[in-house]
Amino acid sequence: MKTKLIALNGGEFVIKDSTASDTFIPEEFNEEQLMIKDMVNDFVDNEITPHIAEIEKQKDGIVPKILDKAAELGLLGTHMPTKYGGMQMDTNTNTLINTTIGRGGSALVSFAAHTGIGMLPLLYFGTDFLKEKFLPKLITGELKAAYCLTEPTSGSDALAAKTTAVLSEDGEHYIINGQKMWITNAGFADVFTVFAKVDGEKFTGFILERDMPGITFGAEEDKLGIKGSSTRQVFFENVKVPKNYVLGEIGKGHLIAFNVLNIGRFKLGLLTLSGAIESVNVAANYANERVQFKVPIASFGAIKYKLAEQAIRSFTAESTNYRVSKMLQDKEHELMESGVSYADAKMQAAEEYAIECSIVKVHSSEVLDYVVDETVQVLGGIGYSEEFPAARAYRDARINRIFEGTNEINRLLMVDMLLKRAMKGKIDIVGPAWAVQKELASMPSFAKAEGPYAAERKALSNFKKIILLVAGAAAKKQMDKEINLEQEQEILMNVADIMIDTFTAESLLLRIEKLAQMDNKKVDQEVYDALLKVVFYDFNDHIAKVAKDAIVSFNDGDLLKTFLMGVKRFTKYPTVNVKEMRRIVANAVIKANGYPF
């Protein structure tokens, strides 16, 4: 049976609409998948949560032992081919695993580094020899993995690396010299993906082993958060690496780095979502138990606002993450049915949806930051105490806006990738952008939207028009050589924010449309509808602001007036009593004593 072709290619959400059938929602998991979720929850509850203090102090090699326990359950190889001992589970199931296990705190940073950036370079770019040598033992946990990219002078600008690799006189080895920093798992990893420049210029990936002479390590970094993860500098002094330990092609290391980061960003979004949901549970539980003025503080409007907003943002991120999960899964199936290998299908799917993976990373990490901050506020003084989980979650969350490319870099990338896809003919943005321009020249329609969620559908269509309006105007200014977009990062960030809001709003709407047709809902439909209205109302105002910020910075005269009128015209979502809508959501959180969805 042929897999249904995916509805959208990467970035096409800007110009095309999706239907509820195009997405996947957590409410659709089958019994077997829910059993896997229970197993992962048991693993976190039994192997991680009771040992948080020891994990934070990295006592007695506890984190590698936790990875060993995860390996016993098969969790290190759920995304790996059966050929090497993996379980080769589908993407949605792997998404479920990651959105469950992420509540385990900093120990899961080591898990993510091992299973993601540690193993994927080998899966994607390793020779048969390298895969057969390392992947089976990485899956069983006998070996642990790390990824060495960042250097003291090269972070976001990874290609500025100074670590070198020179072929030995006998032509059998590369001699590597240099240093890497901020290397997760460096304290115990056995296998390292290392990037170096062959002959000082050809950026290339290599596999190195811990016991190779010339590799030394710095002390553990004293970090703000994620204290349970090992982070060290790694130094290379005349390290002899066999010539057949090269990953991919000489001079093509950037392909490894970028392709691994695509899926790494998606997985980071899943792990941060898991942390956000756990933090909602902590806040709700405390708000129900804490009594002030003879009533639980959960009964106060100010606290209800916080609980509602935490749940709304987490639910929206969850909806977005599973939508992208299905995009990736469908693309992988399509590619494999055409004869592409499992590894190449996973890599190509992540490359296709690189924009969406960046959106997931940015949005989910910022949702987590908001949620953990408000949890500290709900808990008050106890929230600020290191004896309770809110403080640790607050510290741990901050790294996620830096990991896997900073959120600023990801914002710039998503707009750059959109424009490049348009220039390569993969997305037709020009035609729809001209249609928006023509629409502005005509009289607006005053017909009232009709049908279920008609107001949201209309608003969503208008949000996409604003992306085309702002991005199109910016691109035209660049073509006319009036501006250089590379030097106008503020404008690109504005466009990225509209893209993020639009994609997440659409993901939320698709989920709620699907839920409206289902019977097995966890809460009444009015709760879902209430949070939908809050999100669209807030996003409508936010999009209007950032669109105006962008437009006024590169337009003047009559054109400026026309575009500002366009922004006003396309941000007409109905007024919503957000106080009452949030109270509906808050009451569901309070009743469930946590995340109710």
- For residue 143, the Cα-to-chain-centroid distance in whole angstroms is 26
Cβ 76 vs Cβ 139: under 8 Å: yes
Average pLDDT in the chain: 95
Residue 97: count of CB within 10 angstroms of its CB: 23
Cβ 164 vs Cβ 177: under 8 Å: yes
**Confidence grade of residue 506 (pLDDT, cut at 50, 70, 90):** very high
Residues 222, 226, 230, 236: what is their CA dihedral angle, to the nearest 10 degrees? -70
Render pLDDT for 389-440 as a digit per residue (tens, 0 to 9). Answer: 999 999 999 999 999 999 999 999 999 999 999 989 999 988 998 899 889 8
The CA distance from 305 to 581, in Å, is: 10
pLDDT average, residue stretch 363-379: 98
DSSP code for 195: E
The CA distance from 275 to 48, in Å, is: 14
Amino acid 6: pLDDT: 54
Which has the closest alpha carbon to 463: 529, 547, 338? Answer: 547
Which has the closest alpha carbon to 66: 86, 44, 93? Answer: 44
Render pLDDT for 279-302 as a digit per residue (tens, 0 to 9). Answer: 999 999 999 999 999 999 999 999
SS3 197: strand
pLDDT greater at residue 104 or residue 134: 134
Task: Return the minimum-mean-pLDDT range out of 63-67, 177-181, 258-262.
Answer: 258-262
Amino acid 562: pLDDT: 85
The CA distance from 457 to 502, in Å, is: 11
Half-sphere exposure at residue 505, Cβ-oriented, CA atoms within 13 angstroms: 31
pLDDT reading at 179 higher than 90: yes
Task: Write out the DSSP string of 441-476.
Answer: TSPPP-PPP-STTHHHHHHHHHHHHHHHHHHHHHHH
Amino acid 517: pLDDT: 95
**Of the ranges 67-76, 438-447, 549-558, the best mean pLDDT one:** 67-76
Amino acid 127: pLDDT: 97
**Confidence grade of residue 93 (pLDDT, cut at 50, 70, 90):** very high
Render pLDDT for 205-214 as a digit per residue (tens, 0 to 9). Answer: 999 999 999 9
Q: End-to-end CA distance of the chain, in Å?
A: 33
Cβ 287 vs Cβ 148: under 8 Å: no
Residue 369 contacts by C-beta under 8 Å, 6 or more apart in sequence?
397, 398, 400, 401
Cβ 67 vs Cβ 235: under 8 Å: no
Domain residue ranges in the chain: 254-408, 428-592
Tokens of 409: 């870099």
The CA distance from 167 to 187, in Å, is: 28
* Yes or no: domain 254-408 corresponds to CATH 2.40.30.20: no
Render pLDDT for 548-584 as a digit per residue (tens, 0 to 9). Answer: 999 998 767 777 888 899 999 999 999 999 999 999 9
pLDDT average, residue stretch 493-513: 98
Half-sphere exposure at residue 366, Cβ-oriented, CA atoms within 13 angstroms: 16
Amino acid 441: pLDDT: 85
Cβ 199 vs Cβ 215: under 8 Å: no
Amino acid 159: pLDDT: 83
- As a whole number of angstroms, the longest Cα–Cα distance in the chain is 82
- Asked about 506 being catalytic, the answer comes back as no
**Confidence grade of residue 3 (pLDDT, cut at 50, 70, 90):** very low
Percentage of the chain modeled with pLDDT above 90: 87
pLDDT reading at 160 higher than 50: yes
Amino acid 555: pLDDT: 67
pLDDT average, residue stretch 376-398: 96
H/E stretch holding 440 reads: helix 430-440
Distances (CA, A) of 494 to 63, 471, 556: 40, 9, 18
Distances (CA, A) of 10 to 15, 20, 422, 475, 548: 11, 18, 11, 20, 26
The CA distance from 321 to 327, in Å, is: 10
Buried b (16+ CB within 10 A) or exposed e, 104-139: bbbbbbbbbbbbbbbbbbbbbbbeeebbebbbbbbb
pLDDT average, residue stretch 191-207: 97
The CA distance from 277 to 316, in Å, is: 11
Residue 112 contacts by C-beta under 8 Å, 6 or more apart in sequence?
98, 267, 268, 271
pLDDT average, residue stretch 441-467: 90
Amino acid, res. 495: V
Same topology between domain 254-408 and domain 428-592: yes
Cβ 283 vs Cβ 378: under 8 Å: yes
pLDDT average, residue stretch 141-146: 98
**Confidence grade of residue 455 (pLDDT, cut at 50, 70, 90):** very high
Distances (CA, A) of 92 to 63, 263, 326, 328, 477: 26, 14, 7, 9, 42
Catalytic residue among 151, 309, 404, 456: 404
Tokens of 530: 């209430």
pLDDT average, residue stretch 486-508: 96
CATH topology assigned to domain 428-592 = Butyryl-CoA Dehydrogenase, subunit A; domain 3 (1.20.140)
Amino acid, res. 434: W
Cβ 27 vs Cβ 518: under 8 Å: yes
Task: Write out the DSSP string of 2-54.
Answer: PPPPPS--TTGGGT----GGG---GGG--HHHHHHHHHHHHHIIIIIGGGHHH
The CA distance from 353 to 345, in Å, is: 12
